[in-house]
Chains A and B, each alone.
Chain A
Amino acid sequence: MLIPIAAIAALASLFGLLLGYSAIRFRVEGDPIADQIDALLPQSQCGQCGYPGCRPYAEAVAAGEAEINGCAPGGEATMLALADLLGREPVEVDAQAAPPAMVAIVDEQACIGCTKCLQACPVDAIVGAAKQLHGIIASECTGCGLCIDPCPVDCIHLEPVPETTATWKWPYPVPRPTRQPVNQSANPSGQWQPQAAVPDVGPPDDAHRPAA
């Protein structure tokens, strides 16, 4: 009776010491979960989730204080990625598809050079000085829209980022209706369909016969 108790007690204290030691020795700085969540967020710093930036929202989600569907620019894809990461159930997202990428544009005729948008921009994408025309560095703009409200003359608006040949994506093949003009759109992949193509693998029937 005593020996098992002693053995269990010895093991318990051994593992206790081991765990205690590792907790000190391999201590993780920061919150790795929040880091992982932060990495999944689009980093537009728009504040639409109700938190001042992506990092605070990531920390709130990590702490279980915020829902995973708070990120509007991320849309459903981000929500699903968060659900996958955190092992939570997917929840309803307001906008199904992520909104298109936007970029802010300053109306040069109306800008009075008040510098208010400069202070509002979370990524320092607006350049300018007092009483000087402000300009937006399009490549740095995340399209968060935080500069729009502070502008006293409403000279900033968002526009979708124009699609170029470099950013264009092949469309997802849609099951097409049976009747369509035979012209270009009928076969958008440009796939040629000759009748006399012969595979180099012998007759297909043989190829499918399981090896004896």
Chain B
Amino acid sequence: MNFIPFHAGSRQRKLWQFHGGLHLPDEKTLSNTEPAAPLPLPSQLVIPLQQHIGTPARACVAVGDRVRTGQVIGEPQGPVSAPVHASTSGVVTAIEPRAVPHPSGLQAPCVIIDADGLDQWAELPPPIPAFKQTAADDLRQRIRQSGIVGMGGASFPADVKLAPGGEHPVETLIINGAECEPYITCDDRLMREHAADIIDGVHIMLHILDARRCLVGIEDNKPEAIAAMRQAVSAAGLERLIEVVCIPTLYPSGGEKQLIRILTGKEVPSHDIPARIGLLVQNVGTAMAVADAVLRGRPLIERLVTVSGRGVAHPRNFRVRIGTPAAALVAASGGYRPDQARLVIGGPMMGYAVESDAIPVTKSLNCVLALTSAESPDPGPAQPCIRCGRCAEVCPARLLPQQLYWHARAKDLDKVQDYNLFDCIECGCCALVCPSHIPLVQYYRYAKTESWAREREKQAAEHARQRHAAREARLQRLERERQARLRQKKAAAPAKATAAGAKAGARTGAKTGAVAGTKTASQHADRQAAIEAARKRAAERRQAKAATADPAASPPPTANAGQETNAGETR
């Protein structure tokens, strides 16, 4: 099973099958018949500073600044991060939290640009047509500067993914053109219309990775895309490097691990990445963006977005600038139909419902789905699990959804991880086939985010413990130093004490008439006498003070007295 015979250019390739999966009505013809239309520039763009996994970018423009198309407006912070670019020219009118495409419906920091309609481009970095003669690091740097992230949905910074490290060299690059989710057709249109660009991007990535071959996996429900891609490969003369493979349509074949299984028969180890077994998967959109960045110097400021579902008048694909509000897309599709019931971002299986279309298009947003209630019927309340096991039969990750469900429902986060919760890709197959309509994926998402939150809390607690320990150590050190200073003072005291002792001795000597102040008396006795005398004087002083202070009952003066008065005044 591990040995894969590779025949360059052969169309008869052995394919494997992943476990489970579902044949879904694909609903692709709703939106894939027309070419992607460029959307007119909206008057205002809302560009989130975090459109990738990792540290958010930091805004490097100020309110009131004029920006040009392609200008960096957010700088990456840290190694796993990506810059954000202005998608059109205009004036920055605000940098503030706005609603972003996220299942929470929460706001996140965004740069708001009022477009001037001129779309003047900033000075772009020079194109690198001779990428074959360019070092991989320089190309990776260009990809990072261009803000390219995985456009299949995970939005992981592409430059980081393309640098898998020395110990696991990537042999095979896999390009994901499966697009297995129903309704979504943006990758289909992209492959039909920009196959040559995608192949250029693949070629660049092969050069960066120094990989031997590339497999492009496309589901067989997209024959036009397969034909276009094959033609582009032969036109570029890259048949020996790149093979376009037609794979059977079966949801979720576009999952990273599932596609690897179909094309190579290999299994990615649990909790590990494909680079571990010498593979790397990138989306076709990412390949296109890489070609744009390297061959044209253009940053990632636009993408294809599908607007589909029977809840919009005219479903189709659009070429959209990042930051365009989803409402503008829906309006360009003819607006909502009266029976539109739900708005979903992403596909119907893995997407999430949003309350409002006042959210911007981001780098990883591939579909705006307006569904009617007939398309997404209310499944009704969840019934008890009848242990039919159909969820386990369809699970493409070969998990035990039922066990995961029990433990997630019991909030037993340790147990649910024992059943490999984090290998769940949230494809939704289990919930779809569940005859009891149990929202299984929601339980898994709850358990995942709850586990992450616990982990964060644990790390925060450990951090606080260290800081507390450091503070305690510092206080102890200061106390030791104070003691040491006191001891030093005491050690320095005998010299004075002798002098004081001599005086005291003289006084006592005068009273008692004994011979005093002479060098015959031992120093020890002198010192003792001095201490005794000092103690007596101190006791007398204390008594006197107590007698005078008691009626007044005033507290002893402290170091903070002045500040307290000060505070009192302010109050």
**Which positions in A face B, CB cutoff 8 Å?**
38, 41-45, 53-55, 110, 112, 114, 116, 122-125, 130, 140, 142, 152-153, 163-165, 167-173, 175-178, 180, 182-184, 186-201, 204, 207-208
Contacts and interface: CB of A to CB of B under 8 A. Distances in A.
Given A193-B377, A194-B24, 12 more contacts: A112-B563, A152-B571, A164-B108, A165-B106, A173-B442, A177-B381, A178-B380, A184-B354, A189-B353, A192-B375, A192-B432, A207-B393
B147 interface: no
Interface residues of B, number: 79
Contacts of B442: 170, 173, 188-189, 191
Contact of B349 (A168, A177, A192): A192
Contacts of B50: 165
A85 to B, nearest CB: 13
B210 interface: no
Contacts of A41: 461
Contacts of A165: 50, 100, 102, 104, 106, 108
10 contacts: A152-B567, A165-B102, A187-B376, A196-B25, A198-B22, A199-B22, A199-B390, A200-B22, A207-B393, A208-B388
Given A54-B465, A114-B567, A192-B349, A187 B379 contact: yes
Contacts, number: 194
Nearest to A196: B25
Contacts of A114: 560, 563, 566-567
Contact of B453 (A42, A167, A189, A197): A167
A195 B379 CA distance: 11
Contacts of B381: 175-178
B111 to A, nearest CB: 16
Interface stretch (B130-138, B260-268, B286-294, B443-451): B443-451
Nearest to B56: A166
A188 B349 contact: no
A43 B108 contact: no
Given A173-B439, A175-B382, A197-B23, A191 B428 contact: yes
Nearest to B343: A184
Interface in B313-346: 341-344, 346
B465 to A, nearest CB: 4
B467 A123 contact: yes
Interface string B539-568: 000000000000000000000100110111
Contacts of B285: none
A188 B514 CA distance: 102
Nearest to B350: A190
B272 interface: no
Chain A interface helix/strand/loop/mixed: loop
Given A170-B446, A171-B446, A193 B432 contact: yes
B457 interface: yes
Nearest to A170: B445
B355 A184 contact: yes
Nearest to B563: A114
B42 to A, nearest CB: 23
B378 interface: yes
Nearest to A141: B464
A68 B213 CA distance: 60
B327 to A, nearest CB: 16
Contacts of B560: 114, 116
B422 interface: no
B411 interface: yes
B25 A194 contact: yes
A17 B460 CA distance: 45
Contacts of A190: 103, 342, 344, 346, 348, 351-353
